[in-house]
Structure 1
Amino acid sequence: MLTLIGAPTDIGAGSRGASMGPEALRVAGLGPALQALGYDVHDAGNLTGPANPDLPPDQGYRHLDGVIAWNQVLHDAVYAELQRERVPVTLGGDHCLGIGSISAVARHCHHTGKPLRILWLDAHTDFNTQDLTPSGNLHGMPVACLCGQGPDALTTLAGEVPAVHPDWIRQIGIRSVDDGEKRLIAAAGIEVYDMRTIDEIGMRSVMEAALADLTPNTHLHVSFDVDFLDPEIAPAVATSIPGGPTYREAQLCMEMIADTGRLASLDIVELNPALDIRNKTAMLATELVQSLFGKSTLIRRPSRSRG
């Protein structure tokens, strides 16, 4: 049972347009595509929050109050669906929304005693802070906030600080990290599989490592930033970084996640239709999410899913 939750905001981003992402995914047929796989899909519509005032940074943050408001309402919506034992699928919106979504997942896991594994599919580590950020854009800070480094109103959303321990996170596809972030990521000890690692050992080995040691009751959360993908196949992102995963690498990533049977929540973020070509990126994202929820070319035997 899946619930689609639209969060149409670009308040944490440096460029406008990600607020149109939820509708682009709907136009691409995401809901019916998942229904065709046999899921009970409920589209809960869009959440509401403050408009993007498009102001400069204030004490290191842009639009902090608005980002807090959006993440609080998303936290509440995601947590409510988890309590109903449904799989929340957040349709973003920019990646600052990962704070509210994953805080809700962390709260749920704490209350149910489930271990949590987070796969952060992204070109960026998103571990900037108030002191390091070159822009003040909070879509570059969600992982830091989840790990306890950020404004109190964001770091405490889950009811505990930190909401997430760094060793619960696996970052995949990374290829753009600010100098200060490099030091913070290293100090935090987050496992990062950057594009060099993917080039050296391949996506299969990366995913085997990222998915290792999952227990039968692990809650697996995927935070899918569309700029994870190479911009040649997914142009509709404001923070485009060349050299990302190819179509086949991305499909393998999604299919291996599906093979675990542990996927329990999902964010799709940073899709900016204003930069797309005939909704190409939204349609690709929809196709990849289908793979994430089990669509495959063949009926595969469990013993051969990794072989």
Structure 2
Amino acid sequence: MTLVCYQPSVPGAWQGRNDGNDPDLLRWHQLIQPADISRGPLPAVPAGKKGIAFLGFSCDEGVRRNGGRTGAAAGPEALRKACSSFPVHFEGHVLADAGNIVCEGPQLEMAQEALSATVSHILQAGYLPVVLGGGHEVAFGHERGISRHYKDEVVGVINFDAHFDLREPGVEGASSGTGFWQIAQERKKAGQPFHYLALGIQQNSNTPRLFHTAAELGADYLPASLFQQKYHDQLVGAIRSFIQRNDRIYLTTCLDVFAAPYAPGVSATAYNGLVPDALFLDCFRTVLRTGKLAGADFAELNPSLDHDNRTAKLAASLVFETVMNYFLRQGD
């Protein structure tokens, strides 16, 4: 597979605690299978098993264009390190590392197209793509790859985010704030519905025009203020209702949806963001357990702004949830 902007996973990307090589002592870094997909396809997943392929998106050009604080290009490396020592609570399933899509300078559009092609390749090989960002410009390329693969199915987008990211591209083009507007335009051109659910939206982080754009495009959203235990059934019910309308789900989590003490390492911190508690996890797991998940990513991790690796550890815990629910869910 010939790819621009592609780099295989670097040696030593996965390192962590080693308690031994017995099956009940293994950790992710001992199990991960690096793959250079520029030299050949991903190895086949064993019959009756499942595979997840991690893919880094080393890019924050979209954040720069959006006027944010850059540094998220280093996010994939930090997230791999934070995941390395997780224990292996599954047997026979495959964790692969498909390398990185790297944005060189201002070549954001080229990197997004490379991401799209690589995601399609991962899906074609039978793996679930889990993309490690990178700025939230990851959304357009990732979703595009999913939609190209599932071209005859309705793909719904679920975005945990403080922001709609429905801006129209500016003078420099696309940015980390335009991804879902771009997806909506592609849907319109293809004569397909645009199904978008944003969870955790902050009124103080979105202009009236963005709320108007969301209404015009038929987007659904649940504000951050609704994430209280007394609204549990309403939240979960709305998520389940949205999922039922779609054949496949693309799940993206912008880490700036969380309150600053839990996620300081992002471009735009939120003092009153979501708390990653049992309520949030119920909502997150509701998406993971549908059997419709077509891809997941984690965006805006900026290690240069992170304190005590809090944001990386939070993102890693969500990666762990994604892996465990995908591998161990029955009935797929």
Q: Offset at 1:179?
A: 2.6
- With 251-260 and 214-223 compared, the bigger mean Cα shift is at 214-223
- Which amino acid letter does the alignment assign opposite residue 179 of structure 2? P
Q: Offset at 1:78?
A: 0.4
Larger CA Rg, structure 1 vs 2: 2
Q: Offset at 1:285?
A: 1.2
Structure 1 residue 245 corresponds to structure 2 residue 284: no
Secondary structure class of the residue paired with 2:96? strand
Q: Offset at 1:101?
A: 0.6
Secondary structure class of the residue paired with 2:266? coil
Q: Counterpart of 2:98?
A: 44
Q: Counterpart of 1:17?
A: 71
Unpaired segments ≥5 residues, structure 2: 1-50
Q: Counterpart of 1:2?
A: 52
TM-superposition CA deviations, 1:265-305 (whole Å, max 9, x none): 1111100111111212111111122223446xxx9999xxx
Distance of aligned partners of 1:301 and 1:223 in 2 relative to their CA distance in 1, 3 Å threshold: closer
Structure 1 residue 77 corresponds to structure 2 residue 108: no
Q: TM-score, normalised by structure 1?
A: 0.79
Q: TM-score, normalised by structure 2?
A: 0.74
Structure 1 residue 174 corresponds to structure 2 residue 201: yes
Distance of aligned partners of 1:189 and 1:289 in 2 relative to their CA distance in 1, 3 Å threshold: same
- With 95-104 and 208-217 compared, the bigger mean Cα shift is at 208-217
- Which amino acid letter does the alignment assign opposite residue 141 of structure 1? T
Q: Counterpart of 1:102?
A: 143
> Which of 231, 236, 240 in structure 1 is aligned with 2:260?
231
Q: Offset at 1:227?
A: 0.9
- Which amino acid letter does the alignment assign opposite residue 33 of structure 1? F
Q: Offset at 1:232?
A: 1.8
Q: Offset at 1:202?
A: 2.3
TM-superposition CA deviations, 1:17-65 (whole Å, max 9, x none): 10010011111025x63854444110112123312xxxxxxxxxxx5xx
Q: Distance in 2 between matches of 1:193 and 1:279?
A: 28
Secondary structure class of the residue paired with 2:253? strand
Q: Counterpart of 1:190?
A: 219
How many percent identity over aligned positions? 25
Q: CA RMSD in A?
A: 3.0
Q: Offset at 1:70?
A: 1.1
8 Å CA contact 2:227, 2:280 repeated in 1: no
Q: Distance in 2 between matches of 1:204 and 1:92?
A: 31
Q: Counterpart of 1:305?
A: none
- Which amino acid letter does the alignment assign opposite residue 126 of structure 2? E
8 Å CA contact 1:103, 1:163 repeated in 2: no
Q: Distance in 2 between matches of 1:161 and 1:213?
A: 23
Unpaired segments ≥5 residues, structure 1: 52-62, 149-154, 303-307
- Which amino acid letter does the alignment assign opposite residue 69 of structure 2? S
Q: Counterpart of 1:93?
A: 134
Distance of aligned partners of 1:163 and 1:67 in 2 relative to their CA distance in 1, 3 Å threshold: farther
Distance of aligned partners of 1:136 and 1:24 in 2 relative to their CA distance in 1, 3 Å threshold: same
Q: Counterpart of 1:54?
A: none
Q: Counterpart of 2:86?
A: 33
- Which amino acid letter does the alignment assign opposite residue 61 of structure 2? I
Secondary structure class of the residue paired with 1:211? helix
8 Å CA contact 1:8, 1:20 repeated in 2: yes
Q: Counterpart of 1:58?
A: none
Q: Offset at 1:99?
A: 0.6
